[in-house]
Structure 1
Amino acid sequence: MTFRSGELSAADRIDTTVAHPARRYNYLLGGKDNFAADRQSGDALAAAMPTIRLAAVENRMFLHRAVRFLAQQGVRQFLDIGTGIPTADNTHEVAQAIDPAVRVVYVDNDPIVLAHARALLNSTPEGRTAYLDADLRDPERILAHPDLRATLDLTRPVALMLVAILHFIRDDEGPRSILDRLVAALPSGSYVVASHVTWEFLPPEVTAKLEANNQDGRFQARTTEQFAGLLDGLELVEPGIVSVSRWRADDAPQPRPSVRDVSFNGAVARVR
């Protein structure tokens, strides 16, 4: 990847002293691609909410089920924003297991994710993957990126993946307008897959501890109703907005974790 004049290289943009959501998520999933600041932040969250690692795993399983469902519906293109550090069964691996010709574009803004993606995200010969170094807050840059245009055909259905990322977009940053801009670029028959942390089922003392770990205000949990507002105008696929642990999970190990222990909502919605 080349950088425009005045931009920092990927290596120069890595700050290991500050926790990054992608690396912290990697730590909570049991990965090794993280730094002390990420582990410290993850441990602080786990101290406040002991089931947070379970929540991270259930969110990942939701992604797998949603991708598999959409691939079975005939979707052959995926735009995965906020992909995080590659791990087992990434979006393209799940989808290409159903059709090797599936194409996937990944988007993230962490240089470490970029480095891992270049090394590990290998497509089938029939399909294709691309990685964009970009931020969800700049949808125009994502949509105009030549690698996206070279990989995806935006005249055909695309699954827009926004898994565990919308809660990092504050209300003052216009999450609904960002989502509207991305959806507007997709044809009818496309889908949005989204998951979002909610604290509405947690006791006040747990919520207070979690808020204490959000001193920079970067994280914004939303209620089920608020999450639904972000998806307004889309056609929800059954069972609608539910805990990620319950979304089309009949074949998942039973019994399913409680809504409180997971505290993550998920949904798949169709673009009309």
Structure 2
Amino acid sequence: MKDKTVLVTGANSGVGLATTVELARRGAKVVMVCRSAERGEAALREALQHGGPGKVELMQCDLGSLGSIREFARSFQARHEVLDVLINNAGVFSLKRQATRDGFESQLGVNHLGHFLLTNLLLEQVKRAPQGRIINVSSGAHKVGSIHWDDPHLTRKYGAWKGYAQSKLANILFTKALAERLRGTAVTANSLHPGAVGTQLGKDRETGFGGAILALLKPFFLTPAQGAETSVYLAASEDVTRVSGEYFYKKKIVSVSKKANDRGLAERLWSWSEKEVGLA
């Protein structure tokens, strides 16, 4: 990973921060993408303290705002001509329905649509890499997920797990459709399940609600460093140089749900997503 440029979204805590630290230890130049400047600065200090020989840079972006994503992409392109690895790690879990700045249901908006736009905007930088890699952090929750075409933003009947599972299914469908589009290039796209990690995912970002429950359950979870192992493997290992369109768990290819393997569903989601974020 020496001198390779890596971008990690949601890098201020948990798996994202652990991924940043490990890749920096291996010599990568890591761009930490964080929504909060304050939390980002604290995470940057920690990454610089533990990151070893690599370089670490902080950039701010709100994946719940299409405007912020476009502004970030322009800033990144001005600083970096090449992006070797893009790790779409950021994620939200909302106990009550919330909306992004653009009116999307927050889980679908941040977990899928935000990363969909970001990836497409930075695709040329990834293609300039000798062997570009795009890594989407999904979840085993995709197996109970469906794309609710009649109401994808869940305005009528919201459920936290319903929304989260939909967004995680979308991550895999996006990965598979992207891998098809990248066939014949030097860029790969893969997704993964990090495992049950003790992070701040279920904690309300504004009120802190849910923090006590997470603290109580922490002994039963993987550590962020353990959760980051598959992301780091997909970013760094030569074993997956030519592997694309797959879903990994514990650094191995594993099966996905029938819906996640539906090519027609993946193409439908791609077309819908293009319209939602203004790329069509």
User: Aligning the two structures, in what range does the TM-score lie when normalised by the shorter sequence?
Assistant: 0.3 to 0.5
Alignment TM-score, normalising by the size of structure 1: 0.46
TM-score (norm 2): 0.45
